[in-house]
Structure 1
Amino acid sequence: MKNILIPTDFSNNADHAISYALNVFKCERTNFYFIHAYADDVYGPYHNVDAETFDKQKKMIADAAENKLNELVTETQTKTHNPLHKYEAVCAFESLVDAINNFADSKNIDLIIMGTKGKTASSKITFGSNTLQVFKYVKCPVLAVPDQYSYSQPKKILFPSNYMLPYKRRELKLLDIMAGEFKAEVHSLYISDFEDLSLRQLDNKKFLKESLPHARLSFVTIGVGNRAKAITTYIKENDMDLLVMVNSRHSFLEDMLYQSTIDEIGLSSTIPFLVMQNLPR
């Protein structure tokens, strides 16, 4: 049984992510939790009002959010009629990151699936601010789905790695299950001018291979350049369906996230992007 958490702001982007999630797990027994965090909707416009007005507005926003979530659950059940799927609405008076982290811990969530942007994000950016915050601070795998991406089975998965990180077995298991379900190729991309690996790298590479027994795993090495552009070019030239990266201390992805330079560096992924969190959980 999979436990999947889907944050929603009731935008088209969020609905698109829900549709992608239902397709990916259509053949698996899955609990889907639709969560809406509304603390910012209350504190933002009503931080200078008196307590009575604040409580009134908070209740009004909470009631509206709960109604929308219940409608979303009903609509999803009506559209899919999938006996393998169960749905639950979750309304949280917290920030988005806190709500997701707390709920992920309480329900042992396997994966978070969300849009790359929310309803207020500019069309010129790759990832909205909420998505970046979840990438940075939520200690659970996150799959972000571009709003223009039409669903196709993830048959070709790109997994860039320098083999310096000790991978998490639980999260590699998630990748292995997905690869096995769709009989997918996993391209482990090593960006380096040197093919010789250290003992640590060899051990991590071996662990990666052992942890993905159901994937059609291949190892590819390309020369050093701009790493983000190398990844983007590889995606285009090899028709990849899913990009997977690990967020860990001192990793390439962490450098991009904490400098807020994903768009400046050029990692403009047009395919779903799975961020695995090699962080304490």
Structure 2
Amino acid sequence: MKHILLPTDFSKNAWNAIEYALNLYTDQECTFHVFNVYNQPASGPYTGITSAKAREAIYHAQVENSKAGLEDVMQAIHDKFNNPKHTFTSLSKYEMFATAVIDVVKTLHIDCIVMGTKGASTFKEMTLGSNTASLIGVINCPIIAVPKQKNYVTIREIGLSTDLDLTFTTHGLDPLLRVATANKSKVSILHIMDRDKQLTAKQHEALEVLNSILNPLQSDFFTLTDIGVSSGVHAFVESRKLDMLCVIAKEQDFLKRILNQSYSKSISNHSNVPLLILNIKNFN
């Protein structure tokens, strides 16, 4: 049975991600852990003894708000979904978000995190920094980041953006393989390179290994030349009308580097594709 973590701040975006997850895993036996993290403001108008009293009052209010919010979410799930393959738990934690998630992932043996993003698109949110971005590079389990107002649709085609400069393994790609197999999805590999360059022998070898791992899934290989990585990724997502984009995070600021703020605003404002984020540590 899979264990899926569903962080929520009780916003519409968070609820949308929960609905996406329940539809994505509709045919799989899963335990979903609805998780709320809360913390006190870093600063406030209180000092000394008054500050201590105020912080205690804020803490108790947050505890009650978290409890009530989780009860509402669990009730909403019960009212809308009735899948005998799914079970649910709820929990909350008073901690910084990334620290809390890291602890829960380890304790509950989480297989995947599905969470919402804010902003015009997943890409924009990643560049600006978010709870999702704070987990990149530090969480070994995959993350599915669901854009604002993105409803679940059958995942017909998944893009995999790669520089082909790593050793692909079945273990590392397992989250992608599971999603693609369950949805009978096509996997479209994207590699961006300079026009005057060719794939190196090592990259050819990596591509052969990747194609072998993806078999028997349907897959294609595409190259884009003379275009920035950021713009190329966005253009590929839009032109292929992808239902999901998979990236392999090599470092915590990976998405800031790959999906930076230099891409065309006209593309970013219409990009609405969930991101499947894998950690390179799982390829070792």
* Contact persistence 2:159–2:237 (CA under 8 A): yes
Render the CA deviation track for 1:27-83: whole Å, top value 9, x for unaligned: 1001111111102x4555487444344233212211220221122112202311101
Separation (CA, whole Å) in 2 of partners of 1:123 and 1:187: 21
Report the counterpart of residue 113 of structure 1 in structure 2: 114
Question: Structure 1 residues 194 and 106, CA, compared in 2 at 3 Å: closer, same or farther?
Answer: farther
Is the partner of 1:56 in helix, strand or coil?
helix
Report the counterpart of residue 88 of structure 1 in structure 2: 89
* Contact persistence 2:230–2:259 (CA under 8 A): no
* Contact persistence 1:173–1:212 (CA under 8 A): no
Q: 1:136: how far off? A: 5.2
Q: How many residues align?
A: 273
CA RMSD of aligned residues (A): 2.8
Q: Which runs of 5+ in 2 are unaligned?
A: none
- Amino acid across the alignment from 1:262: N
- Amino acid across the alignment from 1:207: V
Separation (CA, whole Å) in 2 of partners of 1:31 and 1:96: 21
Question: Structure 1 residues 111 and 195, CA, compared in 2 at 3 Å: closer, same or farther?
Answer: farther
Instruction: Indicate the structure whose relative CO is greater, using CA pairs within 8 Å and at least 6 residues apart.
Output: 2
Residue 238 of structure 1 is aligned with which of 237, 240, 248? 240
Report the counterpart of residue 130 of structure 2 in structure 1: 129
Q: 1:195: how far off? A: 7.0
- Amino acid across the alignment from 2:275: F
Is the partner of 1:263 in helix, strand or coil?
coil
Q: Which runs of 5+ in 1 are unaligned?
A: none
Separation (CA, whole Å) in 2 of partners of 1:176 and 1:18: 21
* Contact persistence 2:143–2:276 (CA under 8 A): yes
- Amino acid across the alignment from 1:264: S
Report the counterpart of residue 189 of structure 1 in structure 2: 190
1:1-281 superposed matches below 5 A: 1-39=1-39, 41=40, 43-45=42-44, 48=47, 49-117=50-118, 126-127=124-125, 129-135=130-136, 137-167=138-168, 169-192=170-193, 193=195, 196-249=198-251, 254-257=253-256, 262-266=260-264, 268=268, 269-279=271-281
Separation (CA, whole Å) in 1 of partners of 2:137 and 2:210: 23
Is the partner of 1:126 in helix, strand or coil?
helix
